[in-house]
Amino acid sequence: MELLRFTTAGSVDDGKSTLIGRLLYDSKSIFEDQLDAVKRASVQKGSEHINLALFTDGLRAEREQGITIDVAYRYFATPNRKFIIADTPGHIQYTRNMVTGASTANAAIVLIDARNGVIEQTHRHTFIAALLGIPHIIVCINKMDLMDFREEVYTSIKNDYQAFASQIFPGQDMRFIPISALKGDNVVKPSENMSWYTDGTLLHHLESIPISQDHDLKNQRFPVQYVIRPESDEFHDYRGYAGRVAGGFFHPGDKIVVHPSGIESEIVAVDTLSGPLAEAHPPMSVTLTLKDDVDISRGDMITGVGAIPRQSCDITTMICWMNQKPLQLNGKYALKHTTKDVRCIIQDIDYVLNISTLEKMTENKAIRMNDIARIRLRTTKPLCFDPYTTNRITGSLILIDETTNETVAAGMIV
């Protein structure tokens, strides 16, 4: 069985959690005790019917306020696919949690309230989905029940969205579905109220979108995560480099280079507990042993000898800023890139993006919470990286405030 990870996106109250509740409920993925608990909680809140959003809005504070605060992960399966759902918050204050849920997704469901159409938060989430390189977008125009299920409402919102999205995601796989999450139209069951729409339910799309290879299969990339030294009699001289393949295929006999040292060697074995493998590819966790006794530690990267990654201390990156405290120009931050930890200084801000007009504001040097910007930074030690658009693993980084230890930015290297 294959695994599809998807996330929800869209503005507050557009119906994301209700949709996930509906999807789970209509696909019979809710257990009786969960249903009873949600029924009880719905009645307690004075609701006449079951409040579907409560299947994911599980925290006390979320139930009090009737909004999603943090990502909820839910799981369900149909006969040929397993799904991991990240139901994320729409409220702008919790954008960081939306980015958290979206960062590992293969597909995003963007919800739009049919009464309001495309609004700024729709733009922001769409832009973030594009930045994160999510390969498939399913746009659900929701609450069609409140607009008498009229086709022209759907068409006009679809056109608006396409006009915006085509500027940022040319060539993106994008599908549109008119739905009512509350009533269930076109979620799992085809709608009886919108006979003008015939392109399939949401579940149908989730089951049939090709699970694109998210990984770079061309260029061999292996960030060393941990060095294995058994110190036992049986494996006295064993030295293995453990990690998760981030790109390409690795085989015994492959010639490799270690970065940043530039030392060359050859793979002897691809080890696992169940025995050596003939081949490893993303996203497998394996252990490599090499022919020569070279000095390698966590944070180094093993690659093929052909297409090697870029190597530099000067990095240009798009960022989503996620902290109350604005970014400090010339400030120092801790930086994590693959398995490497370095420090960096923010050298320049190229621009901050105006999310509605997509204008690049080059005069703006203030980056506040939820801003999307392009910056330049300089690291204390060189990074070996690829552009994010080539490799989501070797092209991403995070910034950490050294005084609070909070993760303050997600970075996509350009």
Ligand X SMILES: Nc1nc2c(ncn2[C@@H]2O[C@H](COP(=O)(O)OP(=O)(O)OP(=O)(O)O)[C@@H](O)[C@H]2O)c(=O)[nH]1
Residues 47-86 that bind other proteins (CB under 8 A): 56, 58-61, 69-75, 77, 82, 84
Question: Please, what's the b/e burial string for 355-384 (b: 16 or more CB within 10 A of its CB; e: otherwise)?
Answer: beeeeeeeeeeebebbbbbbbebebeebbb
The pair of structure tokens assigned to 326 is: 């604005």
Q: In what order do the strands lie in the sheet with 255-259?
A: 221-223, 301-304, 255-259, 264-271, 285-290, 240-244, 226-228
Gap between the terminal Cα atoms of the chain: 34
* Distance from C-alpha of 280 to C-alpha of 145, rounded to nearest angstrom: 50
Binding-site partner at residue 305 among Mg ion, ligand X, other proteins, none, CB < 5 to 8 Å by type:
none
Of 32-40, 150-158, 358-366, 367-375, the window that binds other proteins (rule: CB under 8 A) is 32-40
Residue carrying structure tokens 């409040």: 51
Residues 95-124 that bind other proteins (CB under 8 A): 96-97, 99-100, 103-104
Question: Residues 346 to 365: which contact other proteins by CB under 8 A?
Answer: none
Bridge partners (DSSP) of residue 271 are 287
Residues touching other proteins, count (CB under 8 A)? 77
Residues 221, 247 contacting (CB under 8 angstroms): yes
Kindly tell me which of 185 and 216 has the beta carbon lying closer to other proteins. Answer: 216
Position 319 contacts ligand X (CB under 6 A): no
Stretch that binds other proteins, among 34-42, 143-151, 183-191, 310-318 (CB under 8 A): 34-42
CB of 72 to other proteins, least distance (A): 5
Among other proteins, ligand X, Mg ion, none, residue 15 binds (CB under 5-8 Å by kind): ligand X
Beta strand pairing status for 221-223 and 255-259?
unpaired
Q: Give the Cα separation of 214 and 45 in Å (integer).
A: 42
Give 267's strand partners: 290
The DSSP-derived string for 199-234 is S--HHHHHHHS-----SB-SS-EEE--EEE---SST
Using the contact rule CB under 8 A, the part of the chain among 121-129, 153-161, 307-315, 399-407 near other proteins is 399-407
Work out which of 7, 95, 126, 180 binds ligand X, going by CB under 6 A: 180
Query: Closest Cα to residue 408, out of 332, 351, 338?
Result: 332
Per the listing, tokens 């290297």 go with 413
List 334, 345, 361, 369, residue binding other proteins (CB under 8 A): 334
**Residue 133 to residue 388: CA distance in whole angstroms:** 8
Site for Mg ion contains 16 (CB under 5 A): yes
Query: Binders of Mg ion among 57-116, rule CB under 5 A?
Result: 68
Interface pattern 65-84 for ligand X (x via CB under 6 A): --xx----------------
Q: Which does 143 bind (CB under 5 to 8 A by kind): Mg ion, other proteins, ligand X, none?
A: ligand X
Q: Of ligand X, other proteins, Mg ion, none, which one does residue 104 interact with (CB within 5 to 8 Å by kind)?
A: other proteins
Please give the residues from 310 up to 329 whose contact with other proteins meets the rule CB under 8 A. 322
Closest to 23 in 3D by CA, of 201, 211, 192: 201
The helix/strand/coil state of 86 is strand
Answer yes or no whether residue 143 interacts with ligand X by CB under 6 A: yes
Binding residue (CB under 6 A) for ligand X from 23, 24, 50, 53: 53
Give 311's strand partners. 384
Residue nearer to Mg ion on the CB measure, 97 or 390: 97
Beta-bridge partner residues of 247: 216, 221
Using alpha carbons only, give the angle 374, 370, 61 rounded to the nearest 5 degrees: 155
CB of 57 to Mg ion, least distance (A): 6
d(CA 61, CA 91): 14
- Select the binding partner of residue 180 from other proteins, ligand X, Mg ion, none (C-beta < 5 to 8 A, by kind): ligand X
Of 26 and 173, nearer to Mg ion (C-beta) is 26
Where does this chain touch other proteins (CB under 8 A) — which range of 45-53, 191-199, 222-230, 346-354?
222-230
In the window 226-285, what residues touch other proteins (CB under 8 A)? 226, 228-232, 234-235, 238, 240, 242-244, 249, 271-274, 279, 281-285
Q: Does 17 bind ligand X (CB under 6 A)?
A: yes
Binding mask 214-243 for Mg ion (x = CB under 5 A): ------------------------------
Contact residues: ligand X, CB under 6 A: 12-18, 53, 67-68, 89-91, 142-143, 145-146, 180-182
